[in-house]
Chains A and B, each alone.
Chain A
Amino acid sequence: MNDYIFEFPKTWQFDIGTSIDDSVKLFSRNHQAVLNGIKSNVIEVIQGIDWVLTHIPWIILILIIVYLGYKASKKIAVGLSYGVMLFLVGTFGLWNHMLETLSLVIAAVFISLVIGFPVGILIAMSKRANRIIRPILDLMQTMPTFVYLVPAVVLFSVGTMPALLATTIYAIVPMIRMTSHGIVHVDKEVYEAALAFGSTKMQTLIKVQIPQAVSTIMTGVNQTIMMAMSMVVTSAIIGAQGLGLEILVATNRVEMGKALLPGISIVIIAIILDRLTQGLVNKNEVSE
């Protein structure tokens, strides 16, 4: 009797995990051709981005960042400090690794924006879509990232593709949420005014709701970039190239110094990307 009170009954326990494994594997086997097709296309795109980045002379890239930093903050000192930080990454010998990381981030952010923006609008406009999609978003955000690294690997094997998938899943959420939030929270009277003057739903969306939500949406873009940046490192364990891989290798060999330098580089890139996109958000707020 005691067995049934203090221990969960053995007969009521099922091995669901194995069957999920099996079905994912089965799916992967049965759709090998499609998955490989997606994979090779996406990898080509990422390699394309990487190709462009590696063909920009390093000094030009630094100058571009200096200029953008100056534009975003209106202070030349700020722009210069970004340039110096980027130069530092070069002196660490990590320039090419940085570019690899950046191309993955750019690809993930691009996909997040392209999918996240319309989905955000959809859940802002439709209550039903909201009811269905919101729990999925919660799931994507709270599920420990390692859990979906595995199916990504099963579907696409190790490499850049599963890393991109995992990064996008993780980074797309703030884009969707902020887009929807921005549109839903447009001032009620402004929204009513749009309707009262005879706007169609589409006119209301394009002429009023989206422009009014721009600064919130830009915050979403900023968040998405930051999340992609952080995930890119984690995704090194499933084969993403770049700074994350350097950290992973050094950590495995217990080489503290070698792990620190790419770590610092990631922080530098994150800071620069954050400040540049923040500058964009602020600019939008000022012009309002």
Chain B
Amino acid sequence: MDNTIIEASHVSKLYGLNKKDAIKLMNEGLEKNEVYKKTGVTVALWDVSFKVKQGEIFAIIGLSGSGKSTLVRCFNQLLKPSSGKILYKGKEIEKFNKKELLEFRRNKISMVFQNFGLMSHKNVIDNVAYGLEVRGMNKEERQKKASEMTSLVGLEGWEYKPISSLSGGMNQRVGLARALANDPEILLMDEPFSALDPLVRKDMQFELLSLQRKLEKTVIFITHDINEAFKLGDTVAIMRDGKIIQIDTPENMSTNPADDYVRKFIDSADKTKVLSVKNIMITPSCLVRENDSVKIAIREMQHNSVSSAYAVDSKMRYKGIVTIDDAINANKENTKVSDLIKKGPITANEDTHISDILPIAAETKYPIAITDEEGILKGIVTKTSVLSSLVE
């Protein structure tokens, strides 16, 4: 089944007067710079085509001037392509009339900006509610929805604060909440985290991933940071001089770069981030066998000063966890570990992509157990190690 939600088809965008000549020269295979020298026309985008699948994060990466910001603005018609089409579920959005375009922008697609694009004359909640306001929703209803969104991005209690009192990261949370308030199908994100300092950026990337997994929005994510693109993108497109050079999954791209340019780009990324949890998993410090008595388990946990232990059977197959509280409460001679085992944290395979366990890692109280196909405990991944893997 074709689950393409939005698609760019041979999109080009040129700025300047002498477009005809420029198009001819581009067709002859000249470089963007030469075309500019000869005709004075800037080629911002050239023959860009790709499909974005429903529910995926489509990351577009390129250096500044590669046309990525121009491209993203074509999707909601802030800019009109000089030629080519943008298709939303098969419909050409250039052909929308004024009303249809407003409806499209109000209900289907919303945008997050690099420098937030927040309205300084409104407070947090009114910013979040802006899209609902122009849609004509009444005040009570939109404030209710907006405060839900404000809590969703973790800004509870800040609803009535002015925008100027917020830090950079909080500003972008407001930007994200505003974009989500419309309940759009597609989120356009134009370098949303570039203006944030590195630590806050990690937080926000993490936040975006968990929100996206929860809400299942389609995201078109623009960035100039290859790590960010690989971390977030299900599919990554590399742009250069207004053209798309390669579109692939992060894994395929790092193993089969299309050309030297892509290879150089990827070399600047830390590959472990693209790969699996194997790289960050550690040996569990506290193991107990399911047939051990509770006393042994308590002693073991105290000895390692941890509050939970991993229970395995005689073949090292993972059974669950035992917590110190349960163990102490049930501290009788004949209680066995197997009586106290909690199904505990979700397990993951050692080949799981790190970004896939991010949402789990954020929520679980205990480290995630990593097992192989036969259920044998291989190691654990702590919340700290997941998060620190995000930090360069």
Contact = CB atoms under 8 A, between A and B. Distances in A.
A200 B136 CA distance: 12
Interface residues of B, number: 31
A203 interface: yes
B131 A197 contact: yes
Given A195-B78, A197-B182, A207-B134, A288 B121 contact: yes
B76 interface: yes
Contacts of B119: 190, 193-194, 208, 211-212
A21 interface: no
Q: Chain A at the B interface: mostly helix, strand, loop or mixed?
A: helix
B134 A198 contact: yes
Contacts of B102: 198, 200
A197 B121 contact: no
B118 interface: yes
B105 A189 contact: no
Contacts of B188: 196
Interface of B: 73, 76, 78, 102-107, 109-111, 113-121, 130-131, 133-135, 162, 164, 178, 182, 188
Nearest to B103: A198
Nearest to A284: B121
Give the contact-size bracket for chain A: 20 to 34
Nearest to B190: A189
Contacts of B116: 189
B38 to A, nearest CB: 29
B126 to A, nearest CB: 10
A44 interface: no
B117 A198 contact: no
A189 B134 contact: no
7 nearest A-B residue pairs (beta carbon) = A198-B106, A189-B117, A193-B117, A198-B105, A197-B131, A211-B121, A196-B111
Contacts of A203: 134
Interface in A190-233: 190, 192-200, 203, 207-208, 211-212, 214
Given A196-B111, A208-B119, A288-B162, 6 more contacts: A196-B109, A196-B110, A197-B110, A197-B134, A198-B104, A212-B121
Contacts of B110: 196-197
Interface string A176-191: 0000000000010110
Contact of B117 (A192, A211, A287, A288): A192
Interface of A: 187, 189-190, 192-200, 203, 207-208, 211-212, 214, 287-288
B78 A197 contact: no
Nearest to A204: B134
A214 B122 CA distance: 13
7 contacts: A189-B115, A190-B119, A192-B73, A193-B178, A196-B76, A203-B134, A288-B120
Residue from B76, B105, B134 with most neighbouring chain A CB atoms (10 Å) = B134
Contact of B131 (A189, A198, A287): A198
Nearest to A186: B119
Nearest to A191: B117
Given A198-B103, A198-B105, A198-B134, A193 B113 contact: yes
A79 B244 CA distance: 65
Contacts of A195: 78, 105
A194 B110 CA distance: 11
A197 B113 contact: no
A288 B188 CA distance: 27
Nearest to B120: A288
Contacts of B133: 207
A207 to B, nearest CB: 7
Contacts of B120: 190, 212, 288
A212 B117 CA distance: 12
B208 to A, nearest CB: 18
